[in-house]
Every structure is written in C-alpha cells, then in structure tokens.
C-alpha cells in the first residue's frame, strides 16, 4: 500500500455535496485507508462538519478545507481526476477504468505530483464545467439497472483501488522525476489565451463559454512541462501586447 508521505499528496474533493451524512461517510472511508486531506466545495448544508456518520474520523471533518470555488480547491494539484458513470455524459477527457487508477496515481507520485480526486453532487454528479478541470474521468462500473452509487460508497471503492492498486516505489531507485505544472498555472494560462482571443475577436460572444471550457480541457490534455508553460505564456503575452497596440 502507499506510504504516508504518498497518501499526504492525495486530495479528496467533494463538489456541491447535498447530504452531510454522505460527507461524513466519505471521511470515514478516507480514514479506513489512511487518507486525511479532504476539501468540500459549495456544500448545501453549512453544518456538515457535525455529521455523525464520520465514525472514527471527526478530526478529519474538522480539518477539511471548505471553499466556494473548485478552481481554488485544486489550485496546487497537478493531476485532477473526476469520477462517475458514463450513463448521462460524454466527457471530453480520457476515460479510465477503475483498475487503471492505482498505476496512474503511482506514476504521478513518482514525478512529485499532487493528485485531486473529485466526486460530484449526489443529485447530478460532476457537471460539464466541473469536468473541464479534470485530466481524466475514472468510470466506476455498475449494473445498468442501478447505475448510481451512494457518495460514501463510491469514495470507498475508489480509495480502496487507489490504496491497493498502486505499486510501491519507495524502495526502487529512479531517475530524477520531471517537474509538473499545477492546476492554478494552467488556469492562469487559459485566462491569458482567452483574453488574447477576445482582443483578437476570435469568435462571437455566444462562443466564449464554449471556448473557455475547451481551453481548460486542451491545456490539461497537453501535459505541459514548466518550460513549455513559460514559453506559451511569453508567446501569448507578446501577441496580446501587439494586439492592444
């Protein structure tokens, strides 16, 4: 299983959860497998920290980070994974089967990355806009007659696969891992490119929201290095300055 230092770089994010008992169930599942970093984005019930379902994990609920913005919650993370079924969505991101989760997490840990695993609202799952922040979607296979899972159950299944599926690498000597670009940098780059597109009148106003979504997806798909991101920043800053002049 993952060691403590590795688990500390894995972050569970609940987006717009509705039921405090489900938040408590997720906290309990996290404690079962040794994870302790939880963020709750735009919770419907402000008293979710008091959930009695967090058996054995009340401290985890108390220390959880609460934000109103998903972008703020995942800013330091370098690999963002959404979860859900494919019954009602056609994601733009690569689709991973649950057994692929462990090896992918291990690969990101090996290059000193930080991982966020996103779980959507019990009512609708992750929206298209929320998925645009993700590098991939992890599919939880279920029977078509009962495709939805309780939020706590879904988290437990994913965390078990993650904890047991990753290959321990702390005893294997490896080359220096490549540097990674976190989500906050990608968002700043997307904002710069979007501003350049607006000044250049790239598309009509009706397309602005679609362009914003597509930019988020594209930049995460490119898997940029820090040097790549700096070069693109410089290029678009120069283009934007010339256009403004």
Q: Does the pLDDT value for residue 150 go beyond 80?
A: yes
Output the pTM of the full model: 0.84
Q: Which residues contact 105 (CB under 8 A, 6 or more apart)?
A: 10, 79, 115, 162, 165, 166
Question: 125 exposed, middle or buried (CB, 10 Å; 0-12, 13-18, 19+)?
Answer: buried
**If pLDDT is split at 50, 70 and 90, which confidence band does 88 have?**
low
How does pLDDT run across 2-58, given as a tens digit for each residue? Answer: 888 899 999 999 999 999 999 999 999 999 999 999 999 999 999 999 999 999 999
Which neighbouring-strand residues pair with 15? 41
Q: Does the pLDDT value for residue 176 go beyond 80?
A: no
Average pLDDT over residues 93-119: 90
Query: Of the candidates 213, 109, 222, which has an alpha carbon nearest to the alpha carbon of residue 168?
Result: 109
**15, 36, 37, 126, 167 from 99: Cα distances, Å:** 23, 22, 22, 21, 12
- Cβ contact 164:102 at 8 Å: yes
The whole-chain average pLDDT of the chain stands at 89
């Amino acid at each position: 299983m993952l060691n403590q230092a590795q688990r500390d770089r894995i972050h569970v994010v609940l987006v717009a959860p509705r039921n405090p008992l489900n938040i408590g169930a997720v906290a309990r599942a996290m404690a079962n497998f040794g994870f302790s970093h939880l963020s709750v984005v735009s919770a419907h019930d402000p008293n979710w920290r008091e959930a009695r379902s967090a058996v054995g994990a009340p401290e985890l609920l108390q220390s959880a980070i609460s934000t109103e913005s998903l972008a703020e919650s995942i800013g330091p993370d370098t690999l963002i994974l959404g979860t859900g079924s494919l019954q009602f969505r056609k994601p733009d991101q690569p689709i991973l089967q649950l057994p692929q989760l462990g090896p992918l997490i291990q690969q990101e840990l090996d290059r000193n990355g930080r991982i966020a695993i996103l779980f959507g609202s019990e009512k609708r799952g992750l929206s298209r806009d929320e998925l645009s922040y993700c590098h991939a979607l992890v599919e939880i296979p279920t029977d078509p007659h009962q495709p939805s899972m309780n939020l706590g159950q879904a988290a437990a299944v994913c965390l078990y696969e993650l904890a047991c599926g990753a290959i321990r690498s702390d005893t294997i000597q490896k080359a220096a891992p490549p540097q990674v670009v976190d989500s906050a940098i990608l968002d700043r780059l997307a904002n710069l490119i979007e501003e350049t597109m607006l000044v250049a009148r790239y598309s009509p106003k009706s397309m602005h929201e679609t362009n914003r979504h597509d930019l988020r997806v594209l930049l995460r798909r490119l898997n940029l290095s820090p040097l790549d991101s700096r070069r693109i920043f410089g290029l678009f800053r120069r283009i934007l300055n010339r256009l403004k002049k």
